[in-house]
Amino acid sequence: MRNQRTAVVIGHGMVGHRFVEALRARDTAGDWQIVIFGEEPDPAYDRVGLSAYVGDWDRSTLALPGNDYAGDQQVRLHTGTRVTGIDAAGRQVLTERGEQRYDALVLATGSDAVVPPIPGHDTRGCHVYRTLDDLDAIRADAEAALAADPGAVGVVLGGGLLGLEAANALRTLGLRPHVVERNPRLMPRQVDTGGGEHLVRMITALGIDVTLSSGVTAVARNAADTGVAVTLADDAVLDAAVLVFAAGVRPRDELAGAAGLQLAERGGVLTDLRCGTSDPAIFAIGEVAAIEGRCYGLVGPGYSTAEVLADRLLGGDAEFPGADLSTKLKLLGVDVASFGDAMGQTPGALDVVVSDPIGGSYAKLVLSDDAATLLGGILVGDASQYGVLRPLVGSSLPGDPVSLIAPAGAGGATIGVGALPPEAQICSCNDVTKATLCAAIADGSCTVAELKSCTGAGTACGSCVPLLSQLLQAEGVSVSKALCEHFGQSRAELFELIQASGLRTFSALIARFGTGTGCDICKPTVASILASTSSDHILDGEQASLQDSNDHFLANIQRNGTYSVVPRMPGGDVTAEQLIVIGEIARDFGLYTKITGGQRIDMFGATVDQLPLIWRRLVDAGMESGQAYGKSLRTVKSCVGSDWCRYGQQDSVQLAIDLELRYRGLRSPHKIKMGVSGCARECAEARGKDVGVIATETGWNLYVGGNGGMTPRHAQLLAADLDRATLIRYIDRFLMYYIRTADRLQRTAGWVEDLGMDRLREVVIDDALGLAADFEEAVARHVDGYACEWKGVLEDPDKLARFVSFVNAPGAPDPTVSFGEKNGRKVPVLIGTPAVRTGRRD
């Protein structure tokens, strides 16, 4: 048996997880056994995206891929376990659960939030903004305070990156944020005075109060004991629900200090360029590592240390390459970016500034004293050029600097990725250069997904993903857009061909534009396009034979060959009489009932021949098909809104009903879900939907491109404080643009990501394509022509004839369908192979 060595990792954050992944990927001989101790109850999660947890409150959405190391016998993970000490002489760590020997000890303990030693800093209602548990605690206090005062304030001490993220979280929770910053500008490490002025102007316009050049001198519970009284430097007192400390972080070096390791002058474990400490068996990575005396608080440098140490433990000679401290983020809907020597500290540096207070943008480039070399820059309000400007740091600019940062329409120029030199760092988080990406493309990587997989670019913060697409095009990669072997066109091109040609049958379309007889890819795709461009019944004529099995029977087939029945309940709205009818149907047909996540009732266990009988009773009760089976609008989820909720700001129920009735039956490349929340508390989970609407005091905020499923995405803000008419126009345009241009089975999230929010706003809001009226007319035609598909079946004997279990024995019971019971619930019992049974005659 080989002599394995043990690497113990203290800390299971993003960098600790990256180290384990890197060591396991390179340790092909299995020389290292890895033991991880994480203090938090959750395994490694995306702390950079911590704010995304607010409103969603689903911890799993932030989990890093592979963070449980399932099936890897070389890794043992202990979460919720605090390390209490290090016995450096005995080479073991001491935990709450016992001792663990090590050959190599990796400190990945990260940082803690700084809590200034002001009187009352530990008062109930004071929080830091660092972990998922912190956010849960903030939420609890915020909701308790809002119950007493719907206009409650939340104070944030610190106006840096973290402070503004915390302010956004408090705003999402329903509090009015008030940011207190001791410096004369927000984000003092990232933006200069001019950029800070723009940033304050934009953020205060969003309803966030800002106090600069001030601080907090005392905290106490308020008189009503519903929150905290926060005293500022000028003796003003803010009555707040919570106070969040976001004034910076300090390395968690207490374990190292107690073990006798050498610490840096300003904190952190002192390391060399290979992450080694003063003890040859102990190493430090991430935020706790003071590399040659300096700590780095960004994930990119942390990942670099993880890679360096993994290489070192396997005998390599990698060293820390230095850190790119560039940042790009969207705070409260405002783009902010800084890169290189953003503050112009290089001797002789020249500043080129373009300030547009009316348009809401500020841009600065820092150049060398001869104006030949780009040293850095700051972008506020419009950071669209960040992706190509940052990699050019240290290189000559390919054009006049003023034109490169001038606002659109003011003589601005756009730099292409082709202008970047091979050594340009495209992905700073994972240190991926243009040369590396070009080599991957030359080796056969032809998509963004393949480039991300083989190089790691775009897998951390994601800001470089648009450049990956541009690079593929610049390298002349020709990616086939063919829908399948029978059509050389993409889905979007087929859509245009069907509209332009007027052809309304698959046979005519393939005869003119395709080859062969079609397949299970192109047939349903064409069926969907035909359905989205007319109000013909999907089971009319030849079109019926194109449908997927679910669409063919207007119901979802279940695992035992039975079907589900889902009547539409617009916005979750339903009458008592309709509920009674549903209950009677479920009882009479022996169906299992389930309230779905979309606020309607699903009935399971119906056989094909029972479907018309069930739907006859539902239609007679005034209900219609819920389209739970098609690639179309499923549901518009809503809260109870201003009718019932004391926090509701708008009538979310009526808007949800109107939206569902407007877009019901609208066929699309993938299913669509919507949500309407009556206030920022987000009870309808609108930001997890393809289209999400959230009420504000003055109107509605519109979010797009979210979804659940295997790859959850948060919707992004498209437009804010819209009146009802404008909101519906924008949704019309968004949906029709998606339906016309998205790929087959592409959800809105992926489509929006490929398109980019800036371009989407240009088309939807600014009508850059001149198609807004056309989009709106298409939706109007759909609304006018909509008819319940099941009602159409019940009125047509030919369509009704399809709904039999066996075409040669109509009315005969299906012997393969059987049910049992599990924990008091009706469940299917699988007999035979129901997948081969079908009532289809095509």
**Known binding-site positions for siroheme:** 683
User: Residue 693 half-sphere exposure, CB side, CA atoms within 13 Å?
Assistant: 35
User: Residue 229's beta-bridge partner residues?
Assistant: 220, 239
For tokens 């019992």, name the residue. 829
Question: In this structure, what DSSP letter does residue 562 have?
Answer: -
C-alpha span between 112 and 268 (Å, rounded): 11
Q: Do 527 and 543 meet the contact criterion of CB atoms below 8 Å apart?
A: yes
C-alpha span between 832 and 93 (Å, rounded): 57
Question: In this structure, what DSSP letter does residue 667 have?
Answer: B
C-alpha span between 605 and 562 (Å, rounded): 5
C-alpha span between 740 and 488 (Å, rounded): 17
Pair of tokens at residue 270 = 């002192």
Q: Is 540 helix (H, G, I), strand (E, B) or coil?
A: coil
Q: Is 704 helix (H, G, I), strand (E, B) or coil?
A: strand
Q: Do 564 and 602 meet the contact criterion of CB atoms below 8 Å apart?
A: yes
- Dihedral sign computed on CA atoms, order 606, 608, 612, 613: negative
- Which of 656, 634, 635, 652 has the alpha carbon at shortest distance from 643? 652
C-alpha span between 770 and 227 (Å, rounded): 52
Q: Which residues are annotated as a binding site?
A: 639, 645, 679, 683
User: Residue 538 half-sphere exposure, CB side, CA atoms within 13 Å?
Assistant: 32
Pair of tokens at residue 215 = 């601080």
- Which of 465, 471, 473 has the alpha carbon at shortest distance from 438? 471
Q: Do 680 and 173 meet the contact criterion of CB atoms below 8 Å apart?
A: yes
- Which of 492, 488, 485 has the alpha carbon at shortest distance from 669? 492
User: Residue 683 half-sphere exposure, CB side, CA atoms within 13 Å?
Assistant: 16
Which residues make Cβ contacts (< 8 Å) with residue 214, sequence separation at least 6? 180, 181, 182, 232, 233, 234
User: Residue 74 half-sphere exposure, CB side, CA atoms within 13 Å?
Assistant: 17
Amino acid symbol at 547: Q
Pair of tokens at residue 498 = 């069907």
Q: Do 674 and 659 meet the contact criterion of CB atoms below 8 Å apart?
A: yes
Pair of tokens at residue 321 = 């390459």
**Concatenated DSSP letters for 254-306?**
HHHHHTT--B-TTSSEEE-TTSB-SSTTEEE-GGGEEETTEE--SHHHHHHHH
- Which of 730, 749, 743, 629 has the alpha carbon at shortest distance from 690? 749
The number of helices, as runs of H, and strands, as runs of E, in the chain is 25, 38
Q: Which residues are annotated as a binding site for [4Fe-4S] cluster?
A: 639, 645, 679, 683
Burial of 293 (0-12, 13-18, 19+ CB in 10 A): exposed
C-alpha span between 259 and 271 (Å, rounded): 15
Backbone phi and psi for residue 804, each to the nearest 5 degrees, phi listed first: -135, 150
C-alpha span between 626 and 623 (Å, rounded): 9
For tokens 């039975």, name the residue. 562
User: Residue 260 half-sphere exposure, CB side, CA atoms within 13 Å?
Assistant: 6
- Dihedral sign computed on CA atoms, order 759, 760, 765, 768: positive
Question: In this structure, what DSSP letter does residue 687 have?
Answer: G
Pair of tokens at residue 677 = 């929340």
